[in-house]
Amino acid sequence: MHQHFHGAEASGRPVPCQLPPALARFENRHDERERITRAVEGHPVHGGPLVVALTGIGGIGKTALGFHMARGLTDRYPDGVLYVDLDDLRRDGVVEVSDAVGELLTGMGVTPDWLEKSQGGRKKQLWSRTKGKRLIVVVDNARLGTEVNELLPSSDLSLVIVTSQAALYDLDGRAAVEVPVGPLGVDDAVRLLGHLVDDPRLAAEPEAVVDLARGCGGLPAALQVAGQWVRKYRRRSLSRLVAELTAELHGKGIPMVEAVWDAAYAALPPEAARLYRLLPQLPGPGVTKSVAAALLGRAPLLAEDALEELESAGLLEGLTEGWRMHSLLRGHADRRARQEDPDGAERAGARRSLITWIRRQAARADLVAAGSRMTFAEVPDSAGTDVPDVDFPGKPEALRWLDAQRHILYGCVRSAFEDGLYEDAWALCEPLWTHFLDHQHYADIMDAFRTGVAAADRAEYLPAMVRMRCQLARPLWEQRLYEEAAEHLRHALNASDALGESDPERKLRASTVEFRGLLKAETGDWTGAAADFEASKAVHAEIGNEYGVLLQTYLLGKTALRSGQHQEAVVPLREAFEMARLQKRERMTARTAFELGRALRLSGRPEEARPLVGAALDGARRRGSRTDEVRVLEELADLADAFGETRTAEAHRTAARRIATECGGVAPEGQSS
């Protein structure tokens, strides 16, 4: 996804503009553009957002047309342009709606901490954020109208541009206009070739140019490759080149576009040709130099040379960061790979090389981002590879890498499992846990963790069998799939009975009990949750895990507070606060101070609470945690009310609402108690 920002709203927030750089030349489409413009100008107020559906076969230029129109209409829709590619979020043909809505909300500036977890919550968040807005939303690669319906802004003043290969018949009740996008006419295709290739042969051999344009079937994706191919062979006559292609097609009935791509492929150097064949093994269309190097098992400079060769041949599109392969070319590359690698050995070797490298980088990023924590997979050795490690100077860089590579990470989990690399499959799920805590892509994470559970079972590695089920349980209960979460935790607890008595194994067993307690707290079983946290705390105390004791003490106090036992919550929360200070854990010190202050206020002791909550506010601001800052400001407002300080209370609430609005959350109202 490309994301730029321009202008500013009245609130001072930047206006989203998620559009790639404009094409150097956009050819024709006059009828389609005029039809869209008429629909925009004639769209009635109170008719719901206008939905323009661009339909046509792959490679016909629907997305380029959608982007072109969005750029031209930004003055009419000054609140920004959002973009989501549904194919990036599709699993087994189905789009996870909550993830797609989350992409749009993120584009509007909603930070991960402020994203609602449930699908319903995110939809309401989208409706709230888009109310009264003049927005353009570009939805790429829709297959069903029902997918689009879930992503519509609430404002009648917005425009939604949808691309789809087939008509979307289930957009009933929407102000929808279908605009079929057909192949470019021969004259337009010839003009596009002229813009792509500055070559006197085009003027000297007009009939050959027409034959080439007609043979490309009016597909802009094919014309791009044809233009690069013509440019490559500057000394051959154009008619000879076209004749060579035509000879290949004689009696086969294959569109010339395939022959154009075959010719471009045949002219590649060996390493670039090999990379072209291997690129379909990547889970997504995007590729970076390092990922290409891992796929090839070669040094990054050699991979970069191969990527540049593919870009020069028109077989890859260069982006600001990395390259991208068109889906039609991806299909062609896969066909060539199957022809030249019939037993799949080359592709399997490349997948193994990629999986090993990705696993190592993800484990390293996890260690930098999350510090030393309970993991069970070893970090693969870098010996025997020419591909260097990614540099992670600090936590922000590590987290950014995990997010940027998430499609490949998730895809490698599936690939490893399908190739029988079960240890790699579950090991990759360990760093994905760290990514999940900040980026709740539920469809991706539940698919990956379910695969991790299956891989751990196949590998018959007991700690992984336990840990993977615990990791899966959390996103399940956050999506209110309580029964499935409970079932996985039952299996995890049963398996944990077979663990040994080493400290790491006992720690894992205690962690599993803690997860069960968290699920019980989520479903309102406060007594059961407290019992599990007590049991887990006892184990951590026995093995000398000070942080484990701190965490369980905090959870015990928080559970008592949530269940209405305010006075009873004070003692464990005070203990947790003192432990957090002694262990010099800044985040836990602030959180325990907040919860302790809240417990004291609700117990009728506001004078003791005020310095603690004030310290929690300082801690939240030092860490830059806006969600914590809002919660603490709301608590300070309630404390001010307890002292009869009405103006101070209102000032805190106003500050909390301002921050929540800036971050994209729902602004808090009233008292939090």
Each residue's pLDDT tens digit, 432-441:
999 888 887 8
Provide the 3-class DSSP secondary structure of residue 562. helix
Q: How many residues does the chain have?
A: 673
Burial grade of 475 (CB within 10 A; 0-12, 13-18, 19 or more): buried
Overall domain count for the chain: 3
DSSP state of 170: T
Is 48 inside any structural domain?
yes
What is the pTM (predicted TM-score) of this model? 0.76
Structure tokens at 444: 């991706």
Instruction: Note whether residue 647 is domain-resident.
Output: no
The answer to whether position 577 is within a domain reads no
Residue 153 within a domain:
yes
Q: Is residue 174 very low, low, confident or very high in pLDDT (cuts 50, 70, 90)?
A: low
Q: Tell me what the mean pLDDT of segment 44-49 comes to.
A: 78
* Residue 38 clears pLDDT 50, i.e. is over it: yes
Which range scores top for mean pLDDT: 83-92, 309-318, 441-450?
A: 441-450
pLDDT at 177: 86
Question: What backbone phi and psi angles, to 5 degrees, belong to 139?
Answer: -110, 110
Q: How confident is the model at residue 464 (pLDDT cuts 50, 70, 90)?
A: very high
Please tell me whether residues 113 and 164 are part of one structural domain. Answer: yes
Q: Does 99 share its domain with 227?
A: no
CA separation, residue 460 to residues 423, 447, 464, 491, 551 (Å)? 10, 20, 8, 14, 30
481: confidence class by pLDDT, cuts 50, 70, 90: very high
User: Residue 373 domain-assigned?
Assistant: no
Confidence of residue 22 (pLDDT cuts 50, 70, 90): low
The larger pLDDT score, comparing residue 42 to residue 253, is at: 42
Is 44 in the same domain as 172?
A: yes
Q: Tell me the mean pLDDT in the region 236-262.
A: 64
- The parent domain of residue 111 ranges over 4-180
Same domain, 260 and 335: no
Sequence-ordered list of residues with C-beta below 8 angstroms from that of 657, at least 6 positions apart, any chain:
667, 668, 669
CATH number for the domain including 110? 3.40.50.300
Within a domain: residue 673? no
Instruction: Decide: 183 and 147 in contact? Cβ < 8 Å.
Output: no
- pLDDT class for 564, splitting at 50, 70, 90? very high
Q: What one-character-per-residue DSSP string does 105-142 give? A: HHHTT--GGGS-SSHHHHHHHHHHHHTT---EEEEEEE
Tell me: do 162 and 106 sit in the same domain. yes
pLDDT band at 518 (very low <50, low <70, confident <90, very high): very high
Which comes out higher in pLDDT, residue 44 or 178?
178
Q: Which CATH number does the domain housing residue 296 bear?
A: 1.10.10.10
Q: Please indicate, yes or no, whether residues 28 and 175 belong to a single structural domain of this protein.
A: yes
How confident is the model over 111-122, as pLDDT tens digits?
878 888 888 888
Phi-psi region of 46 (alpha: psi -120 to 50; beta: other; left: phi over 0): left
CB-based contacts of 356: which residues, under 8 Å, 6+ apart? 380, 385, 424
Does any domain span residue 85?
A: yes
* Residue 15 clears pLDDT 70, i.e. is over it: no
What's the confidence (pLDDT) of residue 600? 96
> Domain end: 342, 377, 396, which one?
342
Are 215 and 334 within one domain? no
Is residue 278 over pLDDT 90? Answer: yes
Does 166 lie in the same domain as 62? yes
Q: Are residues 216 and 285 in the same domain?
A: no
What's the N-to-C CA distance of the chain in angstroms?
41
End position of a domain, from candidates 324, 342, 360: 342
- Rounded distance, CA 508 to CA 519, Å? 17
Of 325, 342, 359, the one marking the end of a domain is 342
Provide the β-strand partners of residue 324.
Answer: 286, 317
Q: Based on the fold, state whether residues 48 and 119 are members of the same structural domain.
A: yes
Closest CA to 54 of 43, 46, 65, 45: 65
What is the pLDDT confidence band of residue 98, given thresholds at 50, 70 and 90?
confident
- Percentage of residues in the chain with pLDDT exceeding 90? 51
Sorting pLDDT into bands at 50, 70 and 90, what band is 520? Answer: very high
Residues 132-147 pLDDT 10s: 899 999 999 898 888 8
Same domain as 222, residue 94: no
Task: Please compute the mean of the pLDDT values over residues 153-157 and round it to a whole number.
Answer: 89
E runs forming strands in 59-215 = 81-85, 90-91, 94-95, 136-142, 159-164, 175-180
Query: 47 or 190: which carries more pLDDT confidence?
Result: 190
Helix (H) or strand (E) holding 55: strand 50-55
Interhelix angle for 206-215 vs 238-249, to 10°? Answer: 40
Q: What DSSP designation does 252 have?
A: T
Domain presence at residue 338: yes
Tens of pLDDT, residue by residue over 600-641, are 999 999 999 999 999 999 988 887 888 889 999 999 999 999
Instruction: Based on the fold, state whether residues 237 and 278 are members of the same structural domain.
Output: no
pLDDT higher for 175 or 99?
99
CA 469 – CA 515 distance, rounded (Å) = 10
Asked if 55 contacts 166 with a C-beta cutoff of 8 angstroms, the reply is: yes
